[in-house]
Each structure stands twice: as structure tokens, then as C-alpha cells.
Structure 1
Amino acid sequence: MAQTVHGVIARGKGAPVEVVEVVVPDPGPGEAVVRVQACGVCHTDLHYREGGINDEFPFLLGHEAAGIVESVGAGVADVAPGDFVILNWRAVCGTCRACLKGKPWYCFNTHNAGRPMTLADGTPLSPALGIGAFAEKTLVHAGQCTKVDPSASPLAVGLLGCGVMAGLGAAMNTGGVGRGDSVAVIGCGGVGNAAIAGARLAGATTIIAVDIDPRKLEWAERFGATHRVDSSAEDAVARVRELTGGFGADVVIDAVGRPETWKQAFYARDLAGTVVLVGVPTPDMRVEMPLIDFFSRGGSLKSSWYGDCLPSRDFPYLVDLYRQGRLDLDAFVTETIALDEVEQAFARMHDGDVLRSVVVF
């Protein structure tokens, strides 16, 4: 039987979000209803509200979430009612060309729930990243539920659902950071600081945080940065080179996603080094550079999709590191808020005052 819960929606481009009644249908084959315990406020949610993703309003926002499986549909075997899960937005299909090549983190046919949640009047809602977790309960594909240790805090581990995983994976998976490497991270918000934490976990010995905000550079040191560069006051490329023996960093991660920061990343890396773009650019952004620079510097230029993660592999592993005290996910939680405070949290996030606000149910 369908349930009515409260959730946060965006009705139109730029309009303030609203708390409304949301109808959640019973799970169909391959689906699950999850009682949400906590959900982080991510920039992607703000992009949805601003029409930066698509125009399929109204959106049910929220996607960085953890909770308890309440019910499952026919054919679901990997999770069961009562399981503590982190929600993910890349439920792999197992049959596309990427999955069949043994690279399911690139899956080109990821799954979402087949039926929509709706407003009380029957208007279909578009769930953010196929999840829609700014709601007391949400309907997802069962593959979007990753079972993890239930002793972990949902406030912290739910953040693996998007931004923190994107940063950790940009370093550990996409960038392939290894023991003794030098790493520079440009942009030290939630994703950038997660990349710094990932670089430390992977064994990097020189980790350079680059930002224009002194507060964010202070945060970066907490997550493992060994040096910090205020790029509003000095040339970031020259300083990164100076800190790496004049060569440039082995891996440079652009967690901003603008042409100027990508160029900084490109020229701040060592010959044959790696650039990872994990910050999300807008469609209008362009980069113009001499082609000879690409040839003469060699190395790898990579984009990181969700940290190239495989939730079934990475989430349990990272939750174990969190429980062992080796990965401080709690440090990403700046504040906890109620469901009706999401609009104010967007403003604080836009102003750079928080790493993550987390809605607690």
C-alpha cells in the first residue's frame, strides 16, 4: 500500500524549495523502500534546483543518504527489510559493455526505480540522481542499496553516497595515488578534502591543498594536507612545483571544474603525471591550449565519475576504515539540520561556510 511522507521538492528553476507530502508506492520487482535516517546537502541538489541538470521539474531532492530498508519487491535477494544501507546513484546492470569488460564502475546502463514517487495530486516527481532522499522514505532500485555495518553513524557514512566518495575515489581509484606520491588538490570543499583524505590513505607523502579561502585550507590540513597554497596570493603552479622539487606533482586533482583550475592542474603536474577532473563544469565552459603542450608533457588526463567507485566493493571497505578510526567521515559533517532547513543550508553551502549540512530524520 502506498505511503505518504514529507519531502523537499523544487517546483521550478530558482524557486525556493518546499516541504510537501510525497506519495511513495510499494516496491515493485527489483525495488526497495528505504526509511531515510540522514541525507547530506550536496551542490548537485542545488544544481537541480537551478535547472543546471535538466528541466524535468518538480524534483524530489536529496541523494547522499543512509537508512534502513523497510520493504523490498519481488526478486530482491541482496538486501532485506531491516538492513542498514547507503544509497548510491550507480546501480550497475551487470550486462552492458563496460560491465562485461570487468569495469562495472563505468556501467552505461545503471538502474533506478521503475515507478515514480508523486505529489498528493498525482504529479510525478523526478528524484535527484534517481534517489530523492530529502524525504522520510524513498523508493529506489534495490541495486542502489549497499549494505554496510549497522554500527556506523548514518550522518557520516551517508556522505559516501556522493561527494565524499567522489573525492576519495578521485585519488584512490581514478588517480591511482600510490605510496610516496606527491599530490595537489585544487579546491578544498567537501570533494577536495575527501580527495586529500584519499591521498593520505593511499600513502602519498606530499599532499598540497590549493584554494583561495583560508578556512578551507585550514580544513584541508585536518584531512591530511602537508602544505597549503593560497592561490589568491601566489602562483599556484609555481608553488606546487617548488614544493615538489621543481618537477610538479605526480597527481593533480581539480575539484573545482573551471577552465582556469583545470589549466592549473595541467601545468602543476610532473612530466607523465596525472590530472584528474572531478569538479563538475557547466556546459558552456571551454579550454583553449596549445596542442603541443599535451603531446610534450605526456601522462594521463582523466575525468572521475563518482570516484570511479563500485559501491558494493568500496562502501563496506570505507565504512570499515571509518570504524577503525582511519577515515574521519565525521569531520565532513559541519551541522545537522531539519527537513525544513534545506533552503538555508543551500545558502550556507553557496557561501562556503560548511563542508556538509546533513538532514537528520
Structure 2
Amino acid sequence: MAHEVRGVIARGKGEPVSVETVVVPDPGPGEALVQVRACGVCHTDLHYRDGGITDDFPFLLGHEAAGVVEAVGPDVTALAPGDFVILNWRAVCGQCRSCLRGRPWYCFDSRNAVQKMTLADGTELTPALGIGAFADKTLVAAGQCTKVDPAADPAAAGLLGCGVMAGIGAALNTGAVTRGDSVAVIGCGGVGDAAIAGARLAGAAKIIAVDIEDRKLEWAKDFGATHTVNSAKTDPVAAIRELTGGFGADVVIEAVGRPETYEQAFYARDLAGTLVLVGVPTPQMKIELPLLEVFGRGGALKSSWYGDCLPSRDFPMLIDLYLQGRLDLAAFVSETIALEEVEAAFDKMHRGEVLRSVVVL
């Protein structure tokens, strides 16, 4: 039996989103039906709305979510109705060349639901990142559901589904920050602040937050930044070097996704240091660096895909840290809103007024 629910739809490039009736089928083999409890408003959803990812309109937006399993397909054994889950967009296949090499966090063939959710007139929807969680219920691949402790607040827990996990993972997994390291984070929105929180969890001795807005730098302090640099007023490379004995940081995390900030990150790291790109660039952006500098400075230039996370490993661990009071996921929630307020939340996010607006259902 199909389920008629409310969902946030992007019908055309740059058009305001609307709340419409969405038809969600019962789960088939390998699928799960999830009652969405909360879903964060992420920049990726805005990119979908603006046609920056694909042009497969209409989209069912929302992907940074937590909820409760309502039903599972006939062959699903690892989930059961009533399980509290965080949704993820890396449902590990276990069979691709990366999984078979023991690197499932890079899975090249992530699973999504096979059946399509539709509008009331039968028009097929493209769910954002294979999830589509700005809805009362959504249909996903069972592997996109990661069970965690149900004591967690869904509004906070769901943020691990994308931005917060991307930032924490950029520090812990991709950057391999360890105790005593110096870390600089360029860009202090939700992902950058999560990278700061991750660096603090790892025991970094010095965490330098860089942004062009003093308000965001104040937020960064709450997540563990020991020093701040306003790059609209100060050369960030010179400032980071001065704060690290003239050498540069051991790990620099670029959470903006722009050529100029990437270049800053490149020169702000110590010799043999690590640069992690977790900010998402646009297709038109290019960088130009002297190849001799790339060779001569050594170290590693890395890109972080979803914080190189393995949901089954990382989500439960981070939720445990949250429940122990060692990771303040709730601090990322700037406001809770209704489905009808998603378009306004996009505007607030674009103006840098919030870390995360979270739809609560």
C-alpha cells in the first residue's frame, strides 16, 4: 500500500520550493520505509534546487536526517520496525573494487532504493542524495539506515547524515589529526565547525579558525578553536604561520571550496603537512599551483568524501560521544522549523545567519 505524505519539492532551477503530496511505496527487497523525525537544511539541498548537481527535476529535497524504521523489505534482516536510525548516502555495497580492497568508506557503488517516490500525478521524483527526507516518510535502501542509540535527539543526531560527519571525518579520518597536532580550519560554517570539533576530539594542541566574519569565529570558539583569524582583515597564511612558530599547521582543512582559500590552505601548512579539501567547489573552478612547490613542500593533498566515513562504524561512536557530553551535536542546531519554512531557511543559510536549521516532523 502506498503512503501519501508531505514533501518539499524543487520543480525547476532556482524556483522556490513547495510542500506537495508525495506518494511513497511500501519497501521492496533491500529497502526500508522510514518515518522521518528530523532533517537538517544543508547547502547540498540548495545546490539541488539551483540545478548545481543534476537537472533531474523535480527533486524531493532533504538528506541530513534521523527517523524510525516503519517497515522493511522481505529480505532485510539487519533492520526492524521501531529501530531509530540515521540516514546516510553511502550504503556500502560490499562488492565494488574499493570494498573488496578493504576500503568500504570509499564505496564506489553506494545503494539507493530501487522503487521511485512520485508526485500525486505519478511524476517520478529524484530524492536528494538518494534519500529525500524533507518528508513525513521516505523510502531508502536498507543500507542507508544506521542504527544508533534511541536516546539521541533526532534534530542533533540527523546532522551526522551529512555536514557534521563531513567535517568531523575530515579531521579524524582524512586528515588523521592526532594528539599534539596544530590544525587550521578555513571556513567556519557547519562543516568547518564540525572539523574543529573533530580536531578537538583527536587531541589537537592548537586549533586555528579562519573566516571573514567575526560572528562565525565566535561560533568556532564554542566548538574548540584555540585561536581565530579574520582573513578579511589579516593575511591568513602569515597569521597561521605566526601562530605555529613560523612553520605552518600540521593539518589544514579547507571547508569553503574556493580556489583562493585552497591556495591559502596549501601555503599555510607545514612542510610534509596535510591539506584536506572538504568544501565543495563548483564545476567551473580551477586551481593553479607551481608544480615545484607541490613537490618541494611534500606532505599530502587530500579530498574528503563525506568525511571518508563508514556510517556503521562512525555514527554509533559519535552518538555515544554525544550522549556522554563529549561532542555537542546540539550546538549545531541554530533553529528548528516546519517543512513550510525550508525556503526561508535557505535564505538564512545563504546569509550565514545559521549553522543549521532543522526541520522537525
Give the 5 Å matches for 1:55-94.
55-94=55-94
Give the 5 Å matches for 1:105-120.
105-120=105-120
* Matched residue SS, 2:14: coil
* Matched residue SS, 1:343: helix
Structure-1 separation of matches of 2:83 and 2:289:
50
Give 1:301 shift. Answer: 0.2
Q: Please state if 1:138 is matched with 2:144.
A: no
Structure-1 separation of matches of 2:312 and 2:75:
18
Equivalence for 1:41: 41
Structure-1 separation of matches of 2:78 and 2:15:
39
Give 1:214 shift. Answer: 0.5
* Matched residue SS, 1:240: helix
Which residue identity lines up with residue 219 of structure 2 in the other structure?
W
Equivalence for 2:194: 194
Long gaps (5+) in structure 2: none
Which residue identity lines up with residue 243 of structure 2 in the other structure?
L
* Matched residue SS, 1:8: strand
Give 1:74 shift. Answer: 1.4
Which residue identity lines up with residue 114 of structure 2 in the other structure?
G
Equivalence for 1:292: 292
Equivalence for 1:352: 352
Equivalence for 2:164: 164
Query: What are the superposed Cα offsets for residues 104-140 of structure 1, whole Å, 9 maximum, x if unpaired?
Result: 0000010000011000000000000000000000000
* Matched residue SS, 2:112: coil
Structure-1 separation of matches of 2:317 and 2:356:
22
Long gaps (5+) in structure 1: none
* Matched residue SS, 2:301: strand
Equivalence for 2:53: 53
Equivalence for 2:252: 252
TM-score, scaled relative to structure 2: 1.00
Which residue identity lines up with residue 40 of structure 1 in the other structure?
G
Give the 5 Å matches for 1:1-361.
1-361=1-361
Structure-2 separation of matches of 1:264 and 1:288:
12
The alignment of Structure 1 onto Structure 2 pairs a total of residues equal to 361
* Matched residue SS, 2:253: strand
Which residue identity lines up with residue 273 of structure 2 in the other structure?
G
* Matched residue SS, 1:210: strand
Structure-2 separation of matches of 1:32 and 1:286:
40
* Matched residue SS, 1:183: strand
* Matched residue SS, 2:115: coil
Structure-2 separation of matches of 1:215 and 1:125:
38
Which residue identity lines up with residue 262 of structure 2 in the other structure?
W
Structure-1 separation of matches of 2:220 and 2:49:
29
Structure-1 separation of matches of 2:223 and 2:289:
33
Give 1:77 shift. Answer: 1.1
* Matched residue SS, 2:195: helix
Structure-2 separation of matches of 1:80 and 1:10:
31
Structure-2 separation of matches of 1:130 and 1:170:
22
Structure-2 separation of matches of 1:71 and 1:168:
31
Query: What are the superposed Cα offsets for residues 72-123 of structure 1, whole Å, 9 maximum, x if unpaired?
Result: 0011111110000000000010011100111000000100000110000000
Query: What are the superposed Cα offsets for residues 265-309 of structure 1, whole Å, 9 maximum, x if unpaired?
Result: 000000000000000000100111211010100000000000000
Structure-1 separation of matches of 2:239 and 2:219:
20
Structure-2 separation of matches of 1:347 and 1:31:
34
Query: What are the superposed Cα offsets for residues 185-205 of structure 1, whole Å, 9 maximum, x if unpaired?
Result: 000000000000000000101
* Matched residue SS, 1:124: coil
Identity %, equivalent residues: 77
Structure-2 separation of matches of 1:213 and 1:157:
27
Give 1:241 shift. Answer: 0.3
Structure-2 separation of matches of 1:79 and 1:226:
42
TM-score, scaled relative to structure 1: 1.00
State the superposition RMSD in angstroms: 0.3
Structure-2 separation of matches of 1:288 and 1:221:
32
* Matched residue SS, 1:345: helix
Structure-2 separation of matches of 1:297 and 1:173:
22
Query: What are the superposed Cα offsets for residues 27-64 of structure 1, whole Å, 9 maximum, x if unpaired?
Result: 00000000000000000000000000000000000000
Which residue identity lines up with residue 23 of structure 2 in the other structure?
V
Query: What are the superposed Cα offsets for residues 324-349 of structure 1, whole Å, 9 maximum, x if unpaired?
Result: 00000000000000010000000000
Which runs of at least 4 in structure 1 moved beyond 2 Å after TM superposition?
none
Structure-2 separation of matches of 1:321 and 1:257:
29
